[in-house]
Amino acid sequence: MRRGRVFILLALILLVGAVAAFLALGGIGGGAGGDQPTPAPTPVGEAEIVIAAQSISRGSIIPPESVFISPYPADYKVETMMDDIGQVVGKRARMDIGRGVPITENMITDQAGDLFAVGSDASLAIPRGFTAIALPMDRFSGVAFALREGDQVDVLVTMLIIDLDTDFQSELPNEGMFLFNSDGELLSAVSCRAVQTSDTGELVCAATDSLPTIGLLQFDQFSGQDFYVGPSGPQRPRLVTQRLITNSTVLGVGEFALEIEGETVELIGETPEEGVGAPQGQAGAEQGVPVIIPPDIITLIVTPQDALAINWAINGGLDLTLTLRSPNDPTPEIETDSVTLQFLIDNYDIAIPSKLPYGTEPRLTAPDLVFPPDLDFKPTPVP
């Protein structure tokens, strides 16, 4: 009996193995008889869009090989995305399109002049809420040409103040005039620059080339008399200097390069021909050799209000000077005082020279200032 049970168990194992082998062979053989498997349908929730297969430059005509159709999640597709290659090929790119970027309606156009304005690279460096303005500079006002893009600078302003007549808005003192009535009688007081004796022995005003200016009455203690005095010359302007702009960023030094038909053009000069306006020291220089011209203009990033102040100062003919700051200046902003002659005397211990019975020779009426000589630029080849 025990031997019979063993035979039955072995028979069942063989039977199960045979059925498994038959099913496995049947599945493989059934697939081999077909020509090709049926393609799987597009999963639900997917769409098709046009994508750039390569970088497309602004203004160029889009060729067929530069775009392709790609599946895209339908939930993320927007109405402006293109889904037909035929609507893209042959159109012009209104902007630079990078590889792998979906094409949208505003990226392409039929008209060559309808290109998308991308702006300048310089505008990308201006923070939100600020603006850029250019102002003139030279080697004195521009820190001896030490300024570079990204530097922090202050702007100093210097102006000359004069007194004006409020009504006439002209420089004081006013010129004097004589007023007569209709009968020829003098109604106003008479002031003369010079007097002379008439034929009758009376003192009268001498003929002068110009009208006397309006002066003022002063009492002389020595003679005990009042004298009418006027200015000995024109009004002397009063000089004042103050910091106008604080901690401004330099956007660029000199003129920015221009782009003509996709090529960058640097604004440089050429050495003039010998004998025709050639600076001293350039005689014999090779003709046509580019010369690096020192910058005479600088562009700063400032607030809109500071831009208005700089614009007023430029149009008002005021003197503007730039000062260079440390890039990591830990010092907080310090309020500055306007500097005048009185400020210098009071704060820098400047003594007023006494009136002495002797002096130096030769007579000096103005300081003998020494300025550096004019720059002598030699041809510097541009690499």
> Tens digits of per-residue pLDDT, 145-164?
999 999 999 999 999 999 99
**From CA 107, how far away is CA 245, in angstroms rounded?**
42
Average pLDDT, the chain: 79
Q: Give the residue range(s) of CATH 3.90.1210.10 domains in the chain.
A: 46-109
**Which of 152-156, 164-168, 226-230 is predicted with the least confidence, judged by mean pLDDT?**
226-230
Say if residue 157 is exposed, middle or buried (CB neighbours under 10 Å; 0-12, 13-18, 19+). buried
* pLDDT for position 233: 79
Domain 46-109 has CATH 3.20.20.70: no
Across 101-115, 242-256, 341-355, least confident range = 101-115
Q: How large is the average pLDDT for residues 46-61?
A: 90
- Percent of the chain whose predicted confidence (pLDDT) is above 90: 38
pLDDT in tens, 10-36: 667 767 666 666 666 654 444 444 454
How wide is the angle at C-alpha 262 spanned by C-alphas 256 and 266, nearest 5°? 30
| Residue 74, pLDDT score | 86
Side chain identity, residue 253: V
- 108-112, 121-125, 184-188: least confident range: 184-188
The phi and psi torsions of 10 (rounded to 5 degrees) equal: -65, -35
Cross-strand bridge partners of residue 376: none
Backbone angles phi, psi at 50, to 5 degrees: -95, 130
Lowest mean pLDDT among 12-16, 129-133, 138-142: 12-16
Of 56 and 224, the structure prediction assigns the larger pLDDT to 56
